[in-house]
Amino acid sequence: MTITLTAGIHQLRPHTCQDKERPHCQLPQAWQLAVLFAGLGLLSIGAGGIRPCNIAFGADQFDTNTEKGRGQLESLFYWWYFTFPIVLVVALTVVVYIQTNISWTLGFAIPTACLGFSITIFLLGRHTYICKKPQGSIFTDMAKVIAAAFRKRNIQASGRAIYNPTPASTLEKDRIVQTDRFEFLDKAAIIADPSELNEQGMARNVWRLCSLQQVEHFKCLLGILPVWVAGICCFIVMDQQNTFGVLQVVQTKRSIGPHFKVPPGWMNLTSMIALSIWIYIYERVY
């Protein structure tokens, strides 16, 4: 909405430069730049908050302990990754064409209205969603494992009892078995002294004694860390491709016939169409 306002309200941006040969353009004022960067910042926060959470929230709606629930979960992922590129194709064709050839204000207002519409639909169904109760922060568990392993760094692990309680809400098939990787972290679950347990057999100080499940969850996180780092490099290249390609198209002849020019934003259509086609082939053919 803020970006839409910057396009629709003339006072929020500098005057259009008319002298193309020897430009003496008015520079944007500090408060105008502040509004623009605030809009971009809010856009980044909103996208960063929604995109990692919505598909995970959708997955929470299905019971993966049943065959029907697992099938519905697979269907969710399929339709999600199939419709997402299609929506982007519509945005890159219709919306980009409106922005380039009709009005930037209308072009920004369309996705703003779509976002408001989607928020309305989401709120209308808020009483029907399955919302799992928070079970603590994963970052707190990571800090506990690191702190406990560091405190017991000089303890020999061989022959020691491992603290591995079973919470009542945990199914046997959901338990993670002990692995051999990152063995130095196993010291966080070693019972070095019987006094570390209370009368119920639970840890007295969770910063000195962690469960084996906490340790193994941390190991899993460390195991996928290289994938996460590689993903950063991947998306940096992909984002450069989007902007670099558009800049090249701006400098080319884009006319098709006497009355139509291809909008530069259409440069990114190829990858989206290819992604949609290959998702369908992978899921339905291969």
Structure confidence by residue, pLDDT tens digits, 161-216: 888 886 655 555 567 777 888 888 888 888 888 888 887 778 888 888 888 888 88
Residue 41: pLDDT band with limits 50, 70, 90? very high
When the pLDDT of each residue in the chain is averaged and rounded to a whole number, the result is 82
Residues 179 and 149: beta-carbon distance below 8 Å: no
Tokens of 209: 């004694």
- For 120, what's the count of Cα atoms within 13 Å in the CB-facing half-sphere? 6
Look up the pTM and report it: 0.59
Rounded-to-integer distance, Cα 261 and Cα 189, Å: 66
Q: What is the mean pLDDT of residues 237-247?
A: 79
CA distance 63 to 48: 27
Residues 6+ apart with CB under 8 A from 202: 165
User: Which pLDDT band holds residue 42 (cuts at 50, 70, 90)?
Assistant: very high
pLDDT at res. 23: 59
Q: Token digits for 122?
A: 């989401």
Query: What mean pLDDT is predicted for residues 69-96?
Result: 82
User: Quick one: pLDDT band at residue 22, thresholds 50, 70, 90?
Assistant: low
